[in-house]
Amino acid sequence: MDFYPMYIGGRWVEARSGRRFTSVNPATGEVLGEVALGDREDVQAAVEAARDAFDAWRRMPAPRRGEILFRAAELLGRRKEQLARRMTQEMGKVLMEARGDVQEAIDMTYYMAGEGRRLFGETVPAEMPDKMAMAVREPIGVVGVITPWNFPIAIPSWKIMPALICGNTVVFKPASDTPILAHRLVEILEEAGVPPGVVNLVYGPGGTVGDAILAHPDVPVITFTGSNEAGVHVNATAAPLLKRVHLELGGKNAIIVMDDADLDLAVEGVVWSALGTSGQRCTAASRVLAHRAIKDQLVTKLVERIRRLRLGDGLDPDTDVGPVVNRQALERIHGYVEEARREGATVATGGRIVDEGPLARGFFYAPTLLVEVRPEMRVAQEEIFGPVTAVIEVSSLEEAIRINNGVRYGLSSAIYTRDVNGAFRAMRDLMTGLVYVNHGTIGSEVHLPFGGMRQTGNGHREAGRAAIDFYTEWKSIYVDFSGRLQRAQIDIPQ
């Protein structure tokens, strides 16, 4: 059985306790490998290594750090297929989407490599003669990176690459459902020339490792993607130490389909956004706000399209939808559907755990369309994180926007329409960090800010230049070359 150690201070090591856990293929139940199970002491060692490595790393010229990331991007590119296959085995998403996940990481890594030559500050005129004023960006220190399993290469890369290019060091705790992918990513960073201690990897199911990172006084920055429940805990644990915390949490994303929309295009957008990655994306479309004039027609087309989807092992090129990540997920998803039924919704297709035939060995949920859903139902308010979407009928754009905005999340939204004015009104009024026009709710690009409003997060954004803002501190520098005392605000030049 393959074994996956932790990576601390540039060495691959067993957990100090010697304990291990396993990683399992959700399509087959097969055990893929054994993984070192970390605890508090491993975190302590990782933080010390990251702290010790910080000084040399922050002083390395940023373009040189960029060269290391450039090599990492090349390695990710060369291993794209291998990584994608492993990803399908470890968390179930179909191979085509696993390739997309790795591609997002490649794109982000090249983008951040380039930022090494663009960590722009500001120079501004000073108030006094013979004086210069400027603001420069500085790294902050050790960044705690805590990531989910649904984008096992992309999400860690969105966090680690900007943290590194800005000159920070990293303690990385990946989701315990996808430790092997995390291992592969860190191997690539090592091979690309990231010096010992600059990136450290500690695994730990059960919260001990995560909590030790959150509560460690030498980790001033935390970046976390995961559920809202966990995000609140992250925030509360980090708060007494006044850490800088980035939270990327849930979504309850909607696609509005207006009466003048291209329905076939909308169907493709809904199916891709709602059922891609088996709905396990924070950007997944889990509500369809359908104009009443086209609702019945849209539902008929959606049902027909969804029934043609093939469920199966993501490695099979004929598979459209893979399993969900684990048994608990399967039960949680089904619980939402059952509750929707009790509240009066109708299952137009799907609505069941696949518990017979060869797929019964894995964690498969039949792609599900719910109709007769009302905006206040739980299934229309809470994040499901599974292959389920709910159709809600609306009578106007205003009503659709109101319902879209009537949830606690604000990550992504979309509108299908041919009306230019309506599209612009929606772009202005939809309260989400991402808005798509004639396109589904998923598929953000790495050079634009990514993140959500309201309880999807805490105001920070990742990707693009926004990430550079998160991973740096501003330092304002004044240089007086007049040779005399110039008292600010007092010796006002005439």
- Choose one: 117-125, 164-172, 192-200, 281-289; the region binding ligand UN1 (CB under 6 A): 281-289
Q: With respect to ligand UN1, which residue has the nearer C-beta, 197 or 433? A: 433
Q: How far is Cα 93 from Cα 315, in angstroms, rounded to an integer?
A: 9
Q: How far is CA 104 from CA 81, 147, 249, 382, in A?
A: 13, 15, 19, 27
DSSP at 462: B
Using CB under 6 A as the binding rule, whether residue 23 contacts ligand UN1 is answered as: no
Q: What are phi and psi of 98, to 5 degrees?
A: -65, -40
Which run of H or E residues covers position 288?
strand 285-291
Number of shown-chain residues binding ligand UN1 (CB under 6 A)? 10
Cβ-based nearer residue to ligand UN1, 28 or 438: 438
In the region spanning residues 66 to 125, those forming contacts with ligand UN1, defined by CB under 6 A, are 104
* Residue 11 near residue 48, CB atoms below 8 Å: no
For residue 134, what are its two tokens? 């400027």
What residues have CB less than 8 Å from 307, skipping those under 6 apart? 349
- CB 155 to ligand UN1: min, Å: 6
With CB under 6 A as the contact rule, the residue among 23, 25, 89, 150 that binds ligand UN1 is 150
Separation CA 423–CA 417 (nearest Å): 7
Considering the rule CB under 6 A, would residue 278 count as an interface residue with ligand UN1? no
Binding flag, residue 286, ligand UN1 (CB under 6 A): no
Q: Per CB under 6 A, which region of 278-286, 288-296, 366-374, 453-461 contacts ligand UN1?
A: 278-286
Q: Which is nearer to ligand UN1, 173 or 291 (CB)?
A: 173
Place of tokens 């989701």: 175
State which amino acid sits at residue 249: L
Nearest distance in Å: CB 180, ligand UN1: 19
Rounded Cα–Cα distance for residues 355 and 360 (Å)? 4
Q: Nearest approach, Cβ of 444 to ligand UN1 (angstroms)? A: 4
Among 281, 291, 295, 461, binds ligand UN1 (CB under 6 A): 281
Contact between 411 and ligand UN1 per CB under 6 A: no
Between 448 and 479, name the residue whose CB sits nearer to ligand UN1.
448
Instruction: Find how far residue 194's CA is from the centre of its chain.
Output: 23
Quote the least distance from Cβ 104 to ligand UN1, whole Å. 6
Q: In angstroms, what is the minimal distance from the CB of 384 to ligand UN1?
A: 13
Nearer to ligand UN1, 167 or 251 (CB): 251
Stretch that binds ligand UN1, among 164-172, 280-288, 308-316, 381-389 (CB under 6 A): 280-288
283 binds ligand UN1 (CB under 6 A): yes
Q: Which is nearer to ligand UN1, 79 or 159 (CB)?
A: 159
Tell me if 225 contacts ligand UN1 by CB under 6 A. Answer: yes
- Sorted by sequence, the CB contacts under 8 Å of residue 57 that are 6+ apart come out as 65, 139, 164, 167, 168, 169, 195, 198
Query: Interacting stretch for ligand UN1, rule CB under 6 A, among 57-65, 109-117, 127-135, 436-444?
Result: 436-444
| Catalytic one of 48, 104, 115, 248 | 248
Closest distance to ligand UN1 from the beta carbon of 151 (Å): 5
112: which strand partners?
none
Q: Closer CB to ligand UN1, residue 7 or residue 450?
A: 450
* Rounded-to-integer distance, Cα 169 and Cα 46, Å: 11
Between residues 66 and 440, which has the closer beta carbon with respect to ligand UN1? 440
Q: Go through the chain and tell me how many residues it has.
A: 494
Task: Report which of 399, 380, 394 is spatially closest to residue 292, judged by C-alpha positions.
Answer: 394
Q: Is the dihedral of CA 469, 242, 281, 194 positive or negative?
A: positive
Least spacing, CB of residue 255 vs ligand UN1, in Å: 13
Active site annotation includes 248: yes
Segment lying near ligand UN1 (by CB under 6 A), choices 78-86, 211-219, 254-262, 438-446 = 438-446
Give the footprint of ligand UN1 on residues 440-469 (CB under 6 A): 442-444
Gap between the Cα atoms of 416 and 267, Å rounded: 10
Instruction: Report how far residue 163's alpha carbon sits from residue 319's, in angstroms, rounded to the nearest whole number.
Output: 36
Q: How far is the CB of 464 from ligand UN1 (least distance, A)?
A: 12
Residue 203 and residue 149: Cα distance in Å, rounded?
13
**Sign (positive/negative) of CA torsion 477, 478, 483, 488?**
negative
Q: How far is the CB of 365 from ligand UN1 (least distance, A)?
A: 17
Q: Residue 186: CB partners within 8 Å, gap ≥ 6?
A: 7, 172, 199, 201
Sequence-distant (≥ 6) Cβ neighbours of residue 65 within 8 angstroms: 57, 116, 164, 165, 167
Q: Which is nearer to ligand UN1, 87 or 142 (CB)?
A: 87
The C-alpha angle 166, 168, 170, rounded to 5 degrees, equals: 130
- Work out how close the CB of 277 gets to ligand UN1 at its nearest, in angstroms, rounded to a whole number: 7
- CA pair distance 476, 92, nearest whole angstrom: 48
Q: Which is closer to ligand UN1, CB of 163 or CB of 194?
A: 163
For residue 151, state whether it binds ligand UN1 (rule: CB under 6 A): yes
Interface ranges with ligand UN1 (CB under 6 A) = 104, 150-151, 225, 281-283, 442-444
Q: Which residues are catalytic?
A: 248
